[in-house]
Amino acid sequence: MIPAPAFLSNPERFMAFSRWAAPLFGAIAVVLAIAGLWLAFAAPEDYQQGDTVRIMFIHVPAAWMSMFVYACLGVASFLSLVFRHALADAAAQAAAPLGAAFTALALITGSLWGRPMWGAWWVWDARMTSVLVLFLFYVAYMALRAALDDEAKAARAGAILALVGVVNLPIVKFSVDWWNSLHQGASVFRADGPTVADVFLYPLLLMALAYMSAFGSLWLVRIRGEVWRRRAEALALRAARA
Amino acid sequence: MSRVSTLLARETALAWGKGGGPMVAVGFYAGVATLLPLAVGSEPERLAAIAPGAAWVALALAALLSLDRLFERDYEDGSLDLLTLSPVPLEIICAIKCLAQWLATGLPLALAAPVAAIALGASPQLSGLVVACALLGGLAFSFMGGIGAALSLGARRGGLLTAVIVLPLFVPPVIFGGGALASLEAGLPWSAGFALLGAYAAAAVALGPLAMAAACRNALS
């Protein structure tokens, strides 16, 4: 994990790497998503939930990604705050809207799943509420960056806020244990092995990998766009001075 | 030490006086508590069910109200620049500002909270816990809110931005405090929620000033 940012911290190397890595990850994501969705629709109906169990293959990876992307945002913010690295800041800025999109997807599909299962679009249980709070953190991060005109100041203020928000991640993960609730307990990452049947587990993991690759691809594309935008701004500034 | 006490006296005087302070916060709190029965209906049994929680949420909103005065004024007139030059670390200065904020608004609000809760129909036996929760929660609101106030220094429409940043940070104290009050009302053990509220307040007091000072340095750089 640590060598990767060190290798990519050189902007030239990053641009050369991301030029082919972004489309490659995108292609991998498409292949994995097709395979995952194929298996998801081939899987038998759940004995309790019927067809609605298939929402899981969209919903659960999105919920995982909502937390994973925030972790990426936290690491990138830390690197940008400590080393003042412009690329790390571009990475943090690029990750936030993607994370917000995954979180929104998790909330929306969860709501669509909750209606047939629990009879309610929304239930105020601990885990759902903390995912909602995670979404609010993404919104606050983006609002803060948008409100500060000075880019260097916006970068550092955003990084501080992102690190404050990292405190929220453990609460999301462990809130299930803190409060007993309507929501399903953790059933994949358990010390005694997953309790999900294999026919459901394999498409779920495929979809999770597909989401991960899609995020990798989109993240790289967005960072590249941010780098180009900053270069264009610097060139425009130089042209205006001349 | 004398520097710290002088600073605390200055901050408290500023927070108490000059167009704001406890009267505005308590007035806002009374206003929200008045709107509530008008919105949900005045049937005593319906109101009593939500009274402790409603009083608690109104408290969080009232704490939000005075946050934009925490750093903004000193930032605009240059006092914050001078304060950073003092031998007292900026972290301590930020903590003192939040403490003064809590003395000027948290304390009066904590005293007003049981009045509002009883007026909404909560049982008077709750009053002790309402005050205790409001004191601890106010500490958490001040120190967590200070982070938002410091981060939005120099932003356009800073007040609104502060609210957007701070409301997610207010979630845990609202949950723990509301949980403690609801448990006591239901006759269940309430100490767990109260202890968690205390833990959150302690963490906010310990860690909040670090983030605030970093944000202030960034805004002044």
| Model confidence pLDDT, tens digit, residues B58-99 | 888 888 887 878 888 888 888 888 888 888 899 999 999 999
- Residue-number span of the structural domain to which A63 is assigned: 17-183+195-241
Domain assignment of residue A12, yes or no: no
Q: What is the pLDDT of residue A172?
A: 45
Domain assignment of residue A145, yes or no: yes
B171 to chain A: which residues are within 8 Å by CB?
129-130, 133
Q: Could you report the per-residue pLDDT of B121-151, keeping only the tens digit for each?
A: 778 888 888 888 889 999 999 999 999 999 9
ipTM (interface predicted TM): 0.87
Answer for the pair A173, A134: CB distance below 8 angstroms, yes or no.
no
User: For A193-199, what is the mean pLDDT?
Assistant: 66
Q: With cut-offs at 50, 70 and 90, classify the pLDDT of residue A192.
A: low
Bridge partners (DSSP) of residue A46 are A50
Q: With cut-offs at 50, 70 and 90, classify the pLDDT of residue B1.
A: low
Answer for the pair A226, A90: CB distance below 8 angstroms, yes or no.
yes
Domain assignment of residue A6, yes or no: no
Residue A59 has pLDDT above 80, yes or no: yes
Domain assignment of residue A206, yes or no: yes
Domain assignment of residue A57, yes or no: yes
Domain assignment of residue A42, yes or no: yes
Q: How many domains does chain A have?
A: 1
Domain assignment of residue A172, yes or no: yes
- Residue-number span of the structural domain to which B160 is assigned: 3-220
Contact check, Cβ <8 Å, B151/A136:
no
Residue numbers of A between 18 and 77 with CB closer than 8 Å to B: none
pTM above 0.95, yes or no: no
Beta-carbon count within 10 A of B212 CB:
29
Contact check, Cβ <8 Å, A147/B221:
no
CA distance B202 to B210: 14
Domain assignment of residue A1, yes or no: no
Contact check, Cβ <8 Å, A147/B156:
yes
Q: Indicate which of A81, A130, A148, A181 best probes the interface with B, i.e. most B CBs within 10 Å of its own CB.
A: A148
CA distance B195 to A100: 32
Locate the chain B residue with the closest alpha carbon to A153: B218
Q: How many domains does chain B have?
A: 1
Q: Could you report the per-residue pLDDT of B10-26, keeping only the tens digit for each?
A: 888 888 876 667 888 88
Please report which residue ranges of A43-85 form alpha helices under DSSP H. 56-83
